[in-house]
Amino acid sequence: MPVNFAPDLVIQGFTPPLKRADFKLAAFDMDSTLINIECIDEIAAAAGKKAEVAAITEAAMRGEITDFKDSLRRRLSLLKGVPVSALEQVLNERLQFNPGARELCAALKAAGLKLVLVSGGFTYFTRYVAAQLGMDFVRSNELAFDANGALTGELVMQDWGDICDGEEKRRMMLACAAQIGALPAQCIAVGDGANDLPMMSAAGLSVAYHAKPKVREQAMVAINSGGLDRLLCVLSA
């Protein structure tokens, strides 16, 4: 039975608090979790296609579109020809960290946890976010550009594949955990959308941040208002 641990926290499956020292790794989604926007929707705004792209994004995050890879390819195809300057504008003018993101990451790092950024978004943005928050591992998608610096509507194949979907997020979290000698039970997974559920289900502590209903229902901790640092109420120092 879920309980309200605090006005903005819903807890189910355990009795808080837990100890930060019980965990060795925390994996985070980026868009709408660590940051305030869905980057692909903001890029689409520059192409005059935000409504069309955002509708697909919303349906995918709610779990109504179950094939994330297909939904991402559909959205990317609508962005063909968008110049790199549009991405620069999103990064410089639209992207902000969600409340408590810096504080939570700093507290977890101070407790000795390794941080993983796993995103269905793009390296153009994850590089910045990872550097700002001190992430130890990063996995995200690489946008392809043509010779004129415009989006081709496709992704670059990387050594692990081309699309970081829910299963890749899970695989990356577990691979990073194994690399540092951590068990899945010693992992924290934080997200907001349906494609975060695979990694959240594999982690010892799953956290939904201002999430879609399907994600809130399955998470052990749901932060429904306030900042990400509300999680620190559940994790004692």
The catalytic residues are 29, 31
Q: Give the bridge partners for 138, in sequence order.
A: 117
- Rounded Cα gap, residues 217 and 219, in angstroms: 6
Q: Which amino acid is at 82?
A: V
CB 61 within 8 Å of CB 193: yes
**H or E segment at 115?**
strand 114-122
Residue type at position 48: G
Q: Are 18 and 236 in contact (CB under 8 A)?
A: yes
Of 43, 97, 98, 33, the closest CA to residue 72 belongs to 43
CA dihedral for 231, 205, 141, 32, sign (positive or negative): negative
Q: Give the span between the Cα atoms of 30 and 38, in whole angstroms.
A: 9
Cβ-count burial 208-223 (b if 16+ within 10 Å, e if not): bbbbbebbbebbbbbb
